[in-house]
Amino acid sequence: MSRGPRSRNPRIAVPVVLVAALVIVGLRVLTRPSVSAPDVQRPSPLPAYSGTCATIVVAASADSFALLTDLAGEYTRQTNCARVSVLPEDSGDVEQALARGWDERVDGVFPDVWLPAASSWVELAHEHTPALVPPPASVPSIAKTPLVIAMPVPMAQALGWPKHPVGWSELRALARDPRGWGRYGHAEWGPFRMGKTNPTVSTSGLHATVAAFAAAGGHTAALTAADVDDPRAQEYVRDLEYSAVHYGTIVQTFLDNLQKADDAGDALGYVSAAAVPEKSVWGYNRGDLRSTSSTAPPAHLPPRVKLAAIHPREGTLYADQPYVVLAGNRTDEAKQAVASHFLRYLLSEPVQERFRDVAFRDARGAAGPVIKDDPLLTVGSPKALPVPPAAVLDRVTNAWLSALRKRARVLVLLDVSGSMNNIVPGTGQTRLQLAKQATRQALELFAPDDDVGLWTFTTASDGRPVHEEVAPIAAIGPRLAGLKNRIDHLATGNDTPLYQVTDDAVRQVRDTYDPDRINAVVLVTDGRQDPPDDAALLRLRGTLTADAARQAPVRVFSIGYAEADEAALKSISDDSQGSYYPASDPATIEKVLRGVVSNF
């Protein structure tokens, strides 16, 4: 079954430019060149670049972005004439943008080279846009990392690791057991909680969902449509999904929150396990998720409670970092030459060693010493599962969206203070007008049976914090049209009682907490607490960190719109184990808000 672009869209990408100047006007893509991979088993010195000077744009996934940024800078300095600019882009975001026709006003600069985390996305993109994306079999891999179940070592040991193999079936049994970790004599750890990204945009989420379907049916061959449609398999996958704390676009969100929980002495209270790339476990245990060298000082102290990288006994999928040269209606031989030469550089032995040095396996799948010498990474060996055909991957994500994912219970909190009436340069619209438009579109991304409510907030004429309940928290489907109409009529008010109203919203969601849903507050604001209110801040922090927050977690996903108080919003989201999303350019609010909804 083939389908068009999926509806969920991840966070905004911010370009990192590695040359002094990069001006791209009307850039599209190259026609599809013939790019062959040099034999990395018999490396030879990289020949000097002798072609026409050109700059290529590379869209890279979060897995490889940090290292590729360094490598692209080094390559550019070495060649001088051949330049590479790397942009951070979620793999699913690029696939969706290609499928819907790539609008540079919305999607940014069209890349010349796409480096998604895995060939799964190439499989989908070739199916949806064959004129742009070559078949996966013709695309070389520059490095590999298998999906693992990352679990705090005490919890892994409670399951019998490392003596006994652990997989999705053990996690499902634990998720279904009302005793939670009491099943293994650790009731103090509470229920089993899974960290899992959104499979429509994230490689780890997609591969975890595929692997769970494979485990449900005991399949080692590629999944079929019948395997995905099997009611027993869907029940198996649904049981795992309903242990999710929330979703998201990148695994770093979960690992960042876990790091903060470890700092607070509560490493076992946030998530019990997370589906992440193997290399991310190495980075987390080292104290640096974005490390580009094993010898560089880590950005953070190593955690007190480290993670075990469990290779699921039923099998797993690899993120194989495919190097995709996109095709288009323009031939640019200079860019083709740079793309081909940069690939040779990435596959050269010294650069392959750089990948092995940060816990990637190289293009052949060989591990380096940082993996081989780490007992938390080397217990067992990954049993590779094949990537299903595009039609089956579509079926997996569609089943997840419609029937399998954990449903949401979300209160959207929209700032309507006076500053929201400011005109956004270049748009002819106010901040509130753009926010209303983005909110209407974001509401369409929820499933009909997701529970969603909307409050606006400002201050009364006497300075008192006030909020208006535009819509109570209830199933969005039957109320969507009416709610969008009410949003059209919102108007601005006075000041920004950020702390008090956020506290009220969190308490409202917690008082009616539903353990079978993701309970959250989405906070959109362009300002800071006005007037200052230290007492309200203390009350809010108490609400977010109280014992009740562990038993009935309500996570705050905040959006810093325009000139918002970024430090305060980060602190609020951190305290609630949610996430902060910057939207300093108000014109990007639509894309950012859609990224926030991917958590649900």
- Looking at residue 204, which CATH number applies to its domain? 3.40.190.10
* 304 in a structural domain: yes
Domain boundary among 400, 435, 466: 400
Token digits for 561? 């719109």
Per-residue pLDDT at 581: 93
* 584 in a structural domain: yes
Q: Which domain holds residue 474?
A: 407-597
Query: Does 246 lie in the same domain as 201?
Result: yes
State how far the alpha carbon of 124 is from the alpha carbons of 214, 367, 416, in Å: 19, 28, 41
Domain boundary among 348, 366, 400: 400
| Torsion sign, CA atoms 282, 285, 288, 293 | negative
Domain count, the chain: 2
Per-residue pLDDT at 319: 97
* 19 in a structural domain: no
pLDDT (tens digit, 0 to 9) for every residue of the chain, 600 residues total? 433 344 444 333 333 333 333 333 333 333 333 444 444 444 445 788 989 999 999 999 999 999 999 999 999 999 989 999 999 999 999 999 999 999 887 788 999 999 999 999 999 999 999 999 999 999 999 999 999 999 999 999 999 999 999 999 999 999 999 999 999 999 999 999 999 999 999 999 999 999 999 999 999 999 999 999 999 999 999 999 999 999 988 999 999 999 999 999 999 999 999 999 999 999 999 999 888 999 999 999 999 999 999 999 999 999 999 999 998 655 588 999 999 999 999 999 999 999 999 999 999 999 999 999 999 998 777 899 999 999 999 999 999 999 999 999 999 999 999 999 999 998 899 999 999 999 999 999 999 999 999 999 999 999 899 999 999 999 999 999 999 999 999 999 999 999 999 999 999 999 999 999 999 999 999 989 988 999 999 999 999 988 767 788 999 999 999 889 999 999 999 999 999 999 988 878 888 888 899 899
Per-residue pLDDT at 261: 93
* 330 in a structural domain: no
Query: Does 585 lie in the same domain as 522?
Result: yes
Domain boundary among 370, 400, 430: 400
Query: Does 178 lie in the same domain as 149?
Result: yes
Query: Does 416 lie in the same domain as 396?
Result: no
| Torsion sign, CA atoms 202, 114, 222, 200 | positive
Token digits for 145? 């990392």
d(CA 207, CA 168) in angstroms, rounded, equals: 12
Nearest residue to 133 via CA among 116, 156, 158: 116
What count of residues does the chain have?
600
* 18 in a structural domain: no
Query: Does 526 lie in the same domain as 393?
Result: no
Query: Does 391 lie in the same domain as 245?
Result: yes
What interhelical angle do 390-399 and 119-128 show, nearest 10? 100
Query: Does 475 lie in the same domain as 580?
Result: yes
d(CA 390, CA 393) in angstroms, rounded, equals: 5
Query: Does 422 lie in the same domain as 314?
Result: no
* 4 in a structural domain: no
Per-residue pLDDT at 547: 72
Judge contact between 473 and 453, C-beta under 8 A. Answer: yes
Query: Does 537 lie in the same domain as 462?
Result: yes
- Looking at residue 542, which CATH number applies to its domain? 3.40.50.410
Query: Does 218 lie in the same domain as 178?
Result: yes
* 82 in a structural domain: no
Per-residue pLDDT at 544: 94
Per-residue pLDDT at 331: 52
Query: Does 299 lie in the same domain as 428?
Result: no
Per-residue pLDDT at 43: 42
* 55 in a structural domain: no
d(CA 84, CA 58) in angstroms, rounded, equals: 7
In sequence order, the 6+-apart residues with CB closer than 8 A to the CB of 570 are: 558, 580
Per-residue pLDDT at 506: 97
Q: Are strands 307-310 and 145-152 parallel, antiparallel or unpaired?
A: antiparallel
Query: Does 437 lie in the same domain as 393?
Result: no
Per-residue pLDDT at 248: 87
